Amino acid sequence: MQLLDGKVLSQQIKQELAAEVADIKAQGGKIPHLVAILVGTAGRSETYVASKMKSCEEIGMKSTLIRFDDSVSEEELINAVRDVNANPDMDGLIVQLPLPAHVSADKVMETIDPAKDVDGFHPINIGRMAKGLPAYISATPQGILEMLKRYEIETAGKHCVVVGRSQIVGLPMSILMQRNTNPGNCTVTLTHSRTQNLAEICQSADILIAALGRPEFITADMVKEGAVVIDVGLERVPDATKKSGFSLKGDVKFDEVAPKTSFITPVPGGVGLMTICSLMQNTLKAARKEVYP
C-alpha cells in the first residue's frame, strides 16, 4: 500500500505556481487575482474560504474577499457577481456554497462570466468539460486527476466506481474518468443513494472514488485487493479523546481498507489539499486567458 500524499503534492504544486507568479511579476505582468464571495458565517464555508485566500497569499497571487450577511438578497448577490465580471483586474471568481435557501445558487452561478468561473460550476463549463473542450474543471475532480497523473496510476481500461453524484464532485468525476484522456479511459459506474448492490459494485472497482459524505461508509469488505481508493469525504465526528472534541473522518474506514489497497488517500492530508491547488491553477489559467483566449 502506498499513500497518495496530498501534503507533499500540494506543496510541490504551490511551489511551481509561486515560481510562475514570480515570473509574471518579474516581467511586469498583471498579478493573478482571485475573488471570493462569502455569505454568512455558518458552517465550514468561512474556514474553507480563509484557506483559499491564504493559499493565494502564499503563492503571491492577489485575493479579495467580498462578504455578505445571510439576509443578502438574490439581486444584491447577482449585482456583486456582475461587478466582478466587469472588473478587468479580477481574473477568477468563486461564490462559496452553500448559499442561503432564499437565494437560487443556480441563478447566481449562471451569472458568473464563464471565463472567470474558476470553480467550473457554470453550465457552459460543465458542458464544455463533458464535450472535452477547454473548460474550467471543478477543483476537487481536477485535484484527483492531478494526483492520479503525478503518481502515474494507470487508468485506461480500468473499472472506476464513483460513489456519490454531487454536482461538485461525483458527477464531473464520472464524466472525466470516462473521457479519452490520461487519466481517463475508464469504464465508469456512477453510484448513489438508490443504487442496488452497492457493495458488490464497489468490490469490482479497480479505482474507487468515495464522495458521498458519510463517515467511514466504505469498509474493507467493499474493496477489491489491490484497488486504488480515493477518499473525498471530510466530516467531523465526535471524539472524546481529542482536545477539540472531534476528529476528521473520510468516507472510507481507512485503518481496515488501507492494507487491501495499492494506493489510498489519507484524510486529512489527501484530496482536500489538492482541491485548493486546483483552484489556484485555474486562477492562473484565468489570468493568462488560457481557457477562453
Does the annotation count 149 as an active-site position? Answer: no
Strand order in the sheet with 62-68: 62-68, 33-39, 92-95
Binding mask 55-94 for ligand GUN (x = CB under 6 A): ---------------------------------------x
Distance, in Å, from the CA atom of 138 to the CA atom of 275, rounded to the nearest integer, reads 9
Does the annotation count 119 as an active-site position? Answer: yes
* Given 97, 105, 130, 220, the residue binding ligand GUN (CB under 6 A): 97
Total of residues contacting ligand GUN (CB under 6 A)? 7
Q: Which is nearer to ligand GUN, 220 or 248 (CB)?
A: 248
* Given 117, 119, 231, 251, the residue binding ligand GUN (CB under 6 A): 119
Distance, in Å, from the CA atom of 101 to the CA atom of 132, rounded to the nearest integer, reads 33
What SS3 class is residue 45? Answer: helix
Catalytic residue among 96, 116, 231, 251: 96
Residue, CB closest to ligand GUN:
97
Residue tagged 474553507 (cell numbers): 48
- 168: contact with ligand GUN by CB under 6 A: yes
- 95: contact with ligand GUN by CB under 6 A: yes
Residue ranges at the known binding site for NADP(+): 164-166
What separation in angstroms does the CA of 96 have from each of 34, 119, 218, 240, 283? 13, 9, 28, 31, 15
Does the annotation count 96 as an active-site position? Answer: yes
Full DSSP string of 185-223: --EEEEE-TT-SSHHHHHHT-SEEEE-S--TT-B-GGGS
- 139: contact with ligand GUN by CB under 6 A: yes
- Least spacing, CB of residue 94 vs ligand GUN, in Å: 4
Q: Which is nearer to ligand GUN, 31 or 97 (CB)?
A: 97
- 96: contact with ligand GUN by CB under 6 A: yes
- Least spacing, CB of residue 98 vs ligand GUN, in Å: 7
What SS3 class is residue 97? Answer: coil
Instruction: Give which of 287, 279, 281 is closest to 30, Cα–Cα.
Output: 287
Catalytic residue among 91, 117, 119, 251: 119
- Least spacing, CB of residue 77 vs ligand GUN, in Å: 13
What SS3 class is residue 63? Answer: strand
- Least spacing, CB of residue 178 vs ligand GUN, in Å: 22
- Least spacing, CB of residue 203 vs ligand GUN, in Å: 29
Q: Which is nearer to ligand GUN, 261 or 265 (CB)?
A: 265
CA angle (98, 100, 103) in 5-degree steps: 105
Distance, in Å, from the CA atom of 258 to the CA atom of 273, rounded to the nearest integer, reads 20
Residue ranges at the known binding site: 164-166
Full DSSP string of 115-154: GG-TT--SHHHHHHHHHT-S----HHHHHHHHHHHHTT--
Residue tagged 481507512 (cell numbers): 254
Q: Which is nearer to ligand GUN, 173 or 198 (CB)?
A: 173
Interface residues toward ligand GUN, by CB under 6 A: 94-97, 119, 139, 168
Positions marked catalytic: 52, 96, 119
